[in-house]
Amino acid sequence: MLETLKERSIKKMKKKLFSFILIFLSIFNYSKAEINSTYSILLEEDNNTLMVIFRDQTGSDGLVISYGGYKWFKEVYQTKTNQEETFIQPARLGQTGNMSSWMMPKYQIGDFNFEFNTRGEDQYISFVSSESTSEIEGYITRGQNFSLATHQPTKAWYAGTFQPIKNLRQLELLSSKNSRTFCKLLSETFMVEGYNRELATANVSEIIFNSGYECTNSFDLIRKPELKKEKVSDQTSISLEETEYPEYKNYWWVLIILILGAFFLYTKTVPKPKKRKVIKKSSPTGFKKDLINYWQGKVSYGFSYWVCLTIIGTIISLPAFIFTDEFFDNSNTLIVYLAVFYLVFNLISQVYLIVGTWRSAEIYKAQKRKLKQSLIWGYLGQISIVLSIIRKAAEFL
């Protein structure tokens, strides 16, 4: 009898231990499955479109949702023609209204397969593209903005700029920018059941709602906590463009250098009024004298305009044509610094050539005025210089 009771107690302990092991393994496997099946969310800069990248053991695919729909989104993706051209590139390259700036050949995607659908007032595409998801993963990892653009020949084109959501603060800020998108996003199945890789948590929606947010079934935000007023709050709302590669078109600091350089040249070359006590100084000779004479307009007008400004100025400016966005993307830091140094030199030399030619034209007109001859060539040259400055300023801006 004692032997039987002992055997029974051992069997019960074994059953409990076995059950515990099963429960532990099931939890472990479930957790492992959660981690192996993840998603990332990316928000479009207008706060009404969302991109989601899903991952599992078999691969990854994507989803783009236009909340409320968008005319050109529908025009581009509604009917697949196999003639579409899709591009994924750094967001800084795109210019509003300029289609080609969003579709640089270097960034074209060759295998962008998509399907268009609607859900109530929302429009969305699901896409499968190993090339696309690989490119997007890179932008997510680096925390950089990028654009997705598609051209439907003879019909329309669409471009959206997306920012990876890396923290809950960005979601909270969305509630202030577009509360309807915020509530719709939190109702998505993947936000409730999926595991977000960047936020390192499952059920993001529950976390947000537990922090004091509340949405109705019609996606109206009726309650939200007060956001703390701190400088950090603005950092997540700022486009991550600032953390990407430097914007080489932003040459405002070059203008400062240019102004200082022009002032330096002016102070060194413009003759100062004579004083009572004159200290004799050695006159400049050679090339230095030629530079000073040109700056003061003492070179003949024809030579100054045609040889110096037109021919030499053009030769100096020629290398600037190779400094495209693609050039900077593919260059190392040393090349970039050398390129910027050249651009500064080019700007200073253009100012020098323009000022010297302008002064030469003024002297030319003064001579013709004394001889009572036509001043037309002096004025025409100066008008062409003004038009050239306006054109260059427009290109710069």
DSSP 226: P
Residue type, 124: Y
Residues 234 and 260 reside in one and the same domain: no
Residues 266 and 238 reside in one and the same domain: no
- Residue in this structure with the two tokens 């994507």, named with its chain if needed: 62
Token pair recorded at residue 265: 């040249």
Residues 236 and 265 reside in one and the same domain: no
- Residue in this structure with the two tokens 């950089």, named with its chain if needed: 144
- In 3D space, the residue among 356, 344, 346 whose CA is nearest the CA of residue 318 turns out to be 346
Of the candidates 226, 243, 260, which is a domain's last residue?
A: 243
Please report whether residue 117 resides in a domain.
Answer: yes
- In 3D space, the residue among 193, 58, 82 whose CA is nearest the CA of residue 133 turns out to be 58
| Angle at CA of residue 61, ends 60 and 65, nearest 5° | 145
pTM of the model: 0.53
Residues 212 and 191 reside in one and the same domain: yes
Give the per-residue pLDDT at 25: 44
Residues 358 and 321 reside in one and the same domain: yes
Please report whether residue 94 resides in a domain.
Answer: yes
Residues 294 and 348 reside in one and the same domain: yes
Q: Are 73 and 150 in contact (CB under 8 A)?
A: no
Residues 235 and 286 reside in one and the same domain: no
**Angle of helix 333-370 relative to helix 286-295, nearest 10 degrees?**
70
Q: Are 53 and 42 in contact (CB under 8 A)?
A: yes
Pairing of strands 38-44, 195-196: parallel
Which regions of 20-112 does DSSP assign to beta strands (E)? 38-44, 49-56, 59-66, 85-90, 108-109
Please report whether residue 330 resides in a domain.
Answer: yes
Residues 101 and 227 reside in one and the same domain: yes
Give the per-residue pLDDT at 43: 95
Residues 216 and 324 reside in one and the same domain: no
Residue type, 23: I
Overall domain count for the chain: 2
Please report whether residue 339 resides in a domain.
Answer: yes
109/112 Cα distance (integer angstroms): 6
3-state secondary structure 158-214: EEEEEEECCCHHHHHHHHHHCHHHHHHHHHCHHHHHCEECCCCEECHHHHHHHCCCE
Please report whether residue 360 resides in a domain.
Answer: yes
What are the angstrom distances between the C-alpha of 117 and each of 77, 102, 186, 241?
9, 24, 20, 31
* Residue 393 region by backbone torsions, left for phi larger than 0, else alpha for psi between -120 and 50, else beta: alpha
- In 3D space, the residue among 58, 59, 56, 52 whose CA is nearest the CA of residue 36 turns out to be 56
Residues 357 and 220 reside in one and the same domain: no
Residues 129 and 192 reside in one and the same domain: yes
Please report whether residue 32 resides in a domain.
Answer: no
Q: What are the phi and psi torsion angles at 75 (to 5°)?
A: -60, -40
Q: Are 164 and 40 in contact (CB under 8 A)?
A: yes
Most distant CA pair in the chain, distance: 140
Q: Are 194 and 202 in contact (CB under 8 A)?
A: yes
Please report whether residue 27 resides in a domain.
Answer: no
Give the per-residue pLDDT at 238: 40
Residues 78 and 210 reside in one and the same domain: yes
- Per-10-residue mean pLDDT of the chain, 397 residues long, equals 53 55 44 68 94 91 94 92 93 90 93 92 93 93 93 92 92 91 93 91 91 93 76 42 43 58 57 56 76 89 90 88 69 80 88 91 90 89 89 73
Q: What are the phi and psi torsion angles at 35 (to 5°)?
A: -70, -35
Please report whether residue 221 resides in a domain.
Answer: yes
For the chain, state the CA radius of gyration. Answer: 33
Show the domain range for 132: 39-243
DSSP 310: I
Q: Are 350 and 388 in contact (CB under 8 A)?
A: no
For every residue of 106-135, DSSP letters joined together read GGEES--EEEEEEETTEEEEEEE-HHHHHH
